[in-house]
Amino acid sequence: MEKYKEKVYFIGAGPGDPELITIKGQRIVKEADVIIYAGSLVPKEVIDCHKEGAEIYNSASMSLDEVIDVTVKAIKENKKVARVHTGDPAIYGAHREQMDMLDEYGIEYEVIPGVSSFLASAAALKKDLLYQMFRKL
C-alpha cells in the first residue's frame, strides 16, 4: 500500500463558540492546505484563521463520497487535510465511517478532541455535572 506524506486531522471545533476550539485544533486549521468543515454546524469564524490559498469545502452540501474524494485527492497531492466537526468528533460524530474509508486507502489520520456541548452547557450554567448527579444519591 502506498505511503503518503500527509494525513487527515479530524478536529473537534467545540460547541459553536469559535474561541473554544483547542490550540492544537486551531494550529492544524492554520497549517492545512485543505479544510473540509461542517458549515451547517461549525461557524465560519472557526476556520477564518486558515492560510492564504487553502482550499475550503463546506461539507453541508456534500455527500460522504464527495468528502472522501476531496480528501483522498488532497492526500495523494501531499496536502494536509483538516476535517472540522462540531463538538468533539468522538461524541455524536460522523467520523467513524470516514476513518473506515480512509483505512481502505491506507491514509493516516489523527483525531483532535474538542469541547462537547454538554461540557460547555455545564460551564455556562456554572454547574458541576458530577456534583449535581451525586448529591442526590
pLDDT reported for residue 124: 86
Classify residue 113: in a domain, yes or no. Answer: yes
Classify residue 2: in a domain, yes or no. Answer: no
Structural domain that includes position 51: 8-134
Cell of 53: 490559498
Give the distance, in angstroms, between the CA of residue 115 and the centroid of all CA atoms in the same chain.
11
Question: The pTM is what?
Answer: 0.89
Classify residue 36: in a domain, yes or no. Answer: yes
The CATH number given to whatever domain includes residue 121 is 3.40.1010.10
Number of structural domains in the chain: 1
What whole-number distance in Å separates Cα of residue 4 and Cα of residue 77? Answer: 9
pLDDT reported for residue 132: 65
What whole-number distance in Å separates Cα of residue 20 and Cα of residue 2? Answer: 36
Q: Residue 129 — very low, low, confident or very high, per pLDDT cuts 50/70/90?
A: confident
For 89-101, what is each residue's pLDDT tens digit? Answer: 888 767 899 999 9
For 44-81, what is each residue's pLDDT tens digit? Answer: 999 999 999 999 999 999 999 999 999 999 999 999 99
Ordered strands of the 34-37 beta sheet: 55-58, 34-37, 81-85, 8-12, 109-112
Classify residue 71: in a domain, yes or no. Answer: yes
